[in-house]
Amino acid sequence: MSNTRIERDSMGELHVPEQALYGAQTQRAVDNFPISHQRMPAQFIRALILAKAAAAKANVELKQLSESQGKAIVDAAQGLLEGDYMQHFPVDIFQTGSGTSSNMNANEVIATLASRLLGEPVNPNDHVNCGQSSNDIIPTTIHVSAALGLHEQLLPALVHLVQVIERKTVQVHSFIKTGRTHLMDAMPVRMSQVLEGWAQQLKANIGHLQDLLPSLQSLAQGGTAVGTGINAHPQFAAGFSRQLSNLTQVQFTPGKNLFALIGSQDTAVAVSGQLKAIAVTLMKIANDLRWMNSGPLAGLGEIELEGLQPGSSIMPGKVNPVIPEATAMVAAQVIGNDTTITVAGQSGNFELNVMLPIIAQNLLSSIELLANSSRLLADKAIASFKVNEPKLKEALSRNPILVTALNPIIGYQRAAEIAKTAYKQGRPVIDVALEHTDLSRSQLEILLDPEKLTAGGV
């Protein structure tokens, strides 16, 4: 075959693309798994490369590798991260359940580059993979990539969304709107109270996510094949975590029980569950925005979202709430991802979970989707929407539910009769109440003032 070279592994010879940095085991995976044509996520590969650099540093300290070998491996890893490294990682997501193919892909690529730097052979297994097994490095990489994704992407995005909501809360505080329960008219609320509710939901989610970080930053590394640590130096786990912490500026620690971290993916399942909770919150916010923006004539029309693009190929002038819609689709996807992770998390057969690649893919996908959509929702929907005050006042003036404020004075039954009459006749509740009670208009204006009915009014 032209443009190929012969590579060998324990199963024999095969052809590999001539310019490929990887070797035989990666090529076998490429040949064996032409399934989705989706590669492992870039965030995962980045974390795997960082883990290889941290392992080399730790092994040099522990005299398991020579200084020259360790330096070549670290330099090769850093060189990869500074370039378009994904071109060297072609293995499909749907591969061996331990992720061995991706581990060997990294070992082979780094070994090739390190050998060139050192001027002598650096072995993928004996040197790059020293003190490691796929069974601990892949669970470790799942934790590391997810932790970095939370620190670098999702948590900052959620904080930004909260800040934008809180700024908007100040801007819309003076506006009072009809509250709704069961999608039906209810007592009035301030627009700021609606947004404060969103902000508090997000703050709670941020807190729950932060509570999971210590578990996520606890690593399986050092357990090697089954958790016993065979072929790893007794101090390798501690050294690895220290070196990785230095490389990433995130504090990683050796796991308290490596059997649990290799045999299960409970932490990933828990993190995914919290990501699902964030998706549910974003779905609620997106739907509130869509409903308030609905119309502009036949819907609620309480707000006007920023117009970003034409909304129809056939109806001129139509503009749709595209950012909330995209956010809602992200939420649906993240909920689906969580289901996949839940099923995959059940595949801890004895000493190893065997659905690691799909856990990594879905977990990192959820983190990235939530981070990106949170920023878009903040900047292109919440920060820029305008309030339609005339529409708010019109609805409030005709809202018979305001009669609820009269319950302590005239009783629930008489108040219900007033509300029904106001509904039926399409009249303001204050006019109907004036006819059916002994209260004066001035008294009713005070009692039914929407501003005073929103928990203090000011």
- Distance, in Å, from the CA atom of 333 to the CA atom of 341, rounded to the nearest integer, reads 12
pLDDT, tens digit only, all 458 positions of the chain: 569 999 999 999 999 999 999 999 999 999 999 999 999 999 999 999 999 999 999 999 999 999 999 999 999 999 999 999 999 999 999 999 999 999 999 999 999 999 999 999 999 999 999 999 999 999 999 999 999 999 999 999 999 999 999 999 999 999 999 999 999 999 999 999 999 999 999 999 999 999 999 999 999 999 999 999 999 999 999 999 999 999 999 999 999 999 999 999 999 999 999 999 999 999 999 999 999 999 999 999 999 999 999 999 999 999 999 999 999 999 999 999 999 999 999 999 999 999 999 999 999 999 999 999 999 999 999 999 999 999 999 999 889 999 999 999 999 999 999 999 999 998 999 999 999 999 999 999 999 999 999 975 44
- Distance, in Å, from the CA atom of 181 to the CA atom of 59, rounded to the nearest integer, reads 62
- Alpha-carbon distance values, 285 to 126, 173, 319, 324, 383 (Å): 52, 18, 19, 8, 13
Closest CA to 401 of 252, 188, 258: 188
Give yes or no for a contact between 407 and 415, defined as CB atoms under 8 angstroms apart.
yes
Question: How many helices and strands (H and E) does the chain possess?
Answer: 17, 10
Amino acid identity of residue 211, one-letter, is D
Q: Got the DSSP string for 168-234?
A: HHHHTTT-EEEEEETTEEEEEEEHHHHHHHHHHHHHHHHHHHHHHHHHHTEE-TT-TTTSS-TTS-T
For the four alpha carbons of 343, 345, 349 and 355, in that order, the dihedral sign comes to positive
- Distance, in Å, from the CA atom of 37 to the CA atom of 404, rounded to the nearest integer, reads 60
Q: What is the pTM of this model?
A: 0.96
User: Any idea which residues carry the catalytic annotation?
Assistant: 182, 312
- Distance, in Å, from the CA atom of 127 to the CA atom of 73, rounded to the nearest integer, reads 8
Prior bond of 296 cis (ω within 30°): yes
- Alpha-carbon distance values, 106 to 111, 273, 405 (Å): 8, 30, 68
- Distance, in Å, from the CA atom of 71 to the CA atom of 57, rounded to the nearest integer, reads 8
SS3 96: coil
For the four alpha carbons of 72, 67, 51 and 349, in that order, the dihedral sign comes to positive
- How far from chain centre, in Å, is Cα 2? 45
Tokens of 135: 């069974």
- Distance, in Å, from the CA atom of 455 to the CA atom of 457, rounded to the nearest integer, reads 6
- Distance, in Å, from the CA atom of 31 to the CA atom of 249, rounded to the nearest integer, reads 38
- Distance, in Å, from the CA atom of 15 to the CA atom of 88, rounded to the nearest integer, reads 16
